[in-house]
Structure 1
Amino acid sequence: MITINTNKLEYKLIAVPNNEININILDKPSSVTFISESKTFYLVIKKDSMSYLRQLKLGLASFIQMCQGDTNIDFNSFAKVIPNINKEIIFNVVCDVILFETHKFITYKKDVMTNDYLFNIDQSEEFSDLLVENILKNKYVNYARDLQDFPPNIGTSDFYGEKLLKDSSKIEGLKVSVLKNKELKELDMNLILAVNQGSNHEANVVVMEFNNNPCGKKIALVGKGICFDTGGYDLKPSAFIEGMKFDMTGAAIVMSIAMALAEAKAKINFVAIGLFTDNKIGQKAVLPESIIKSKNGLTIEISNTDAEGRLVLADGITYAVREKNADVVYDIATLTGATAMALGESASGVFTEFDEMWKKLNEASNYTTERFWRLPIFAEHKEQVKNDSVLADLTNSCIKGPGGSTAAAFLTFFAEDKEFLHIDCSRVVRVGLKGQGYIVKTMFELLKK
């Protein structure tokens, strides 16, 4: 729990640039030293090749693990040792780390240590409203993490459909529905149905709608929700099957953003679409080289069954544009290994032909400190998506070339000239086998206004 300027507590946390105050302090960037005589933790933040904010994040995370009781945090000491950075950003990072590290995460272990200590931020600025917003944002960062972390035998498409319907129905003004195979067939959403063919669970498309801006545009958030991705008949090798329960992360993020915005009563109109299914092999699973007609009428050649994410997104984007009259479309997906190889765990890849969309996302990310990097969609990428198909309008997997860009180019055929931005977040969304809820804060910041 976090408070501001309340009672003096048993322990203190102070940021220092070196160990001049006490030679027993380890003078190393992001290190934390506990001095028992004064019941004080000292976090060293200093000029170094490691950025100030990274030192702050790593040091705070270490402090949370070491913490022994209720603690006062000397915020002004942090602001003093971190030059040229807005105090709001520093305050946000302090809140982010505390709320992230103290979250009671999903686990099936018998004995789990929890941290229920009180953290009081002593500071002279008036940040009470900012604290309330940070608590709300991080509530849904942690909600996304929990959705990510469910094991695949529990976290099925049916499970997510039921859970999201139940949880979101508690939020005033948020309309929620779940489309299953019968409704999807009636809507001609044949691409998600094709991906779902090998599954013993129906596809669940969770649709959240919120209207709180009579004169505003309608924003669509579309998320890939592949609950487990075997690759289908283009089966993944064992080295690449680990962590495939996280292939539903895009939908987890989109649903969490929607719930956060609705609970905050943001002045926005949106439809959020979580496309939940799995991609399995079996007697009925879709075969490579199959031709499927998409919801918007284009035919797709399934050149690779392991390029299933763009298929479900394509129908989801068309649904947003044609059925829900979206003016602007964002999609979020753990989509390609190519983008993961290019950016690793450093940033999410962003693909858009709309410069203003990128500019606004980048500004929001500078505030939240989540990182994004823009990558291209060139005309030749779109040409390749068409030309590499033998029998259909488009292929779902090009023969060669930059896989992240050709995947994004494929999706542009379904945005129908609407403002469109695609986020490919394959590696930043988890650390090992633990979800991170990445992107929720940035999209909340971007859209809340």
Structure 2
Amino acid sequence: MRTPVPSLPSPTPDIEVAAAPRRGVPTVVVASPGDESPEYGPGGADLGTDWATAAGLTGKAGEVHIAPDHATGVRWVAGVGEGAAADWRKAGAALVRAFEARAEADSDAGRKVPRAVQLTLPENTTPDQISAFVLGVSLGGYRYKVSSTEKPRLKSLRLVTAEDLRPAVDRALAFAQGTVATRDMGNTPSNVKDPTWLASAAVKLAARLPGLKVEVRDEHWLAAQGFGGLLAVGGGSASPPRFVELTWRPTKAAGPHIAYVGKGITFDTGGISLKPADGMHLMRTDMCGGASVIAALVTIARLGLPVRVTGLVPVAENHVSGSSYRPGDVIRHYDGQTTEVTNTDAEGRMVLADAIGYAVRRVQPDLIVDVATLTGAMKVSLGVRTGGLFSSSDELAERVAAAGARAGEAWWRMPLLADLEDEVVSEIADWRQCPPGPGGITAALFLRKFTGGIPWAHMDIAGPARAEKIYDEVVPGATGFSTRTLVELAASYTA
């Protein structure tokens, strides 16, 4: 019997834009650092230097304090720092976490538990600031837990502001829903999340979005089409592989046809090249690249972006059995190229090679972007908050990095070193899957062999796809990293 899991996607607070505050609802006041004392937004006129000093308020981003309020008893004061979008995102995330911690304490003590807050925004609030704040509120309180109990949550946030900021709020909510969907898919335990489940999740998320088409191909179709890499990786599992193709073709499309390719390994034991036991439980998130592609296509469709995008997700479970593929095997991919397997734990590049080859031959896009939790080497190189970016195109690399900056996701471009090209060449096949040397770079060089000369970018998210502690709007578990970058990248071609 399968474990019951939370619905997909998880709920986020309802956020409304209104012209006036509502009586009886706790208020939020924003604060920023001043020359001598913090400066307050609307609703904080009676909060002076003495209170700020006593409370320890400076106005820096992420600070949250409680001040007395005659009407509701509690008034929240949230620091927004110098006003950068990242500061507002941090403020929103800190606010929702502080609110829910107070709500839980009230519930435990038998006190009345508030479920809503309202914020009157300063008149000079920009669309970027309010978008970031909405993202922070929507994502900062995210939790995924298979449990019989439910802790108090923030149900709604009322933003008192001008009506012309509503589009920025709606756009931010679409981005937040996409990020939450990616987190949900990543966090779902692998006794539930087999390849069929992930493919079904794509179908469910895309339902009721006109213009977004989803096709799921099974192992029989894969065999007939020659997806040797995907079949080899999935061959050791009792749950057969799947191939998900999402197609967004708006009536009036601008810019290039984009292909997004995402690694969808629903659990990775390492296969015969077995992983160490420590940390293997985290391999339920090894499909976060695929989840990002699914959620990005859904978000692009929800926003109605006028750009043609195809999403390809090869889905498999890399397991150990008598039918597992082996080191030393030679695999023929969809496009006919062959690979010598040297490490079955380098399975991500095997399934991506098939999907990228399929994109080149069948989809025929103008550019290809793949995203994957691909190499531990990238986590060592860049840590857990920055994604690795490789590209055959300077222009595309610049667009990805700029999209990430707008999305609040950091990328660092890595080199495709020419002196390592020979390392990818095999003596008994076309290519060697896992050569020695800097692992993130050689993996990217391997993938480039399948791109057919089409402008291509590779996004290695092995570090930032999952988190072990809270920072900014991120909470432990799957982070949803790269989803917003993919959407922003597509949007950059519609301007």
Tell whether the structures are fold-level matches, with TM greater than 0.5.
yes
Q: 1:161 aligns with which of 191, 199, 210?
A: 199
Amino acid at match of 2:351: V
CA distance in 1, matches of 2:309, 2:325: 33
Post-superposition shift, 1:343?
1.1
Given that 2:357 and 2:451 are in contact with CA atoms closer than 8 Å, whether structure 1 keeps it comes out as: yes
For the aligned residue pairs, the C-alpha RMSD in angstroms reads 2.2
Matched, 1:71 2:117: yes
Deviations 1:348-368 (A, max 9, x none): 111002111111122222222
Post-superposition shift, 1:75?
2.8
Post-superposition shift, 1:163?
2.7
Change (3 A) 1:416 1:100: same
Q: Which range moves more in the overlay, 28-37 or 129-138?
A: 28-37
Amino acid at match of 2:354: D
Given that 1:76 and 1:124 are in contact with CA atoms closer than 8 Å, whether structure 2 keeps it comes out as: no
Matched, 1:318 2:357: yes
Post-superposition shift, 1:89?
2.5
Amino acid at match of 2:17: I
User: Where do residues 66-215 of structure 1 align in structure 2 (5 Å cutoff)?
Assistant: 66=102, 68-76=114-122, 87-103=126-142, 105-124=143-162, 126-212=164-250, 213=252
Matched, 1:3 2:16: yes
Amino acid at match of 1:15: V
Amino acid at match of 1:44: G
Change (3 A) 1:341 1:385: same
Given that 2:258 and 2:308 are in contact with CA atoms closer than 8 Å, whether structure 1 keeps it comes out as: yes
Matched, 1:333 2:372: yes
Q: 1:241 aligns with which of 260, 280, 293?
A: 280
CA distance in 1, matches of 2:387, 2:92: 19
* Corresponding residue pairs, total: 436
User: Where do residues 293-442 of structure 1 align in structure 2 (5 Å cutoff)?
Assistant: 293-386=332-425, 389-399=426-436, 401-432=437-468, 434-442=477-485
Change (3 A) 1:62 1:419: same
Post-superposition shift, 1:69?
3.9
Post-superposition shift, 1:106?
4.1
Deviations 1:202-228 (A, max 9, x none): 111111112124564321110000000
Change (3 A) 1:175 1:52: closer
Amino acid at match of 1:33: H
Deviations 1:228-254 (A, max 9, x none): 000011100112413000001000000
* Structure 2 residues without counterparts, runs of 5 or longer: 1-13, 39-47, 104-113, 469-475
Q: 1:15 aligns with which of 17, 27, 30?
A: 30
Given that 2:89 and 2:134 are in contact with CA atoms closer than 8 Å, whether structure 1 keeps it comes out as: no
Given that 1:178 and 1:204 are in contact with CA atoms closer than 8 Å, whether structure 2 keeps it comes out as: yes
Q: Which range moves more in the overlay, 251-260 or 88-97?
A: 88-97
Question: TM-score normalised to the size of structure 1?
Answer: 0.91
Q: Percent identity?
A: 25
Change (3 A) 1:40 1:166: closer
Amino acid at match of 1:168: A
* Structure 1 residues without counterparts, runs of 5 or longer: 80-86
Amino acid at match of 1:198: G
Amino acid at match of 2:68: S
Deviations 1:98-121 (A, max 9, x none): 111355x54320111142432122
Change (3 A) 1:127 1:376: same
Given that 2:93 and 2:140 are in contact with CA atoms closer than 8 Å, whether structure 1 keeps it comes out as: no
Change (3 A) 1:215 1:95: closer
Equivalence for 2:7: none
CA distance in 1, matches of 2:356, 2:367: 10
Matched, 1:31 2:63: yes
Amino acid at match of 2:118: N
Deviations 1:252-291 (A, max 9, x none): 0000001111122211112101111011111000011111
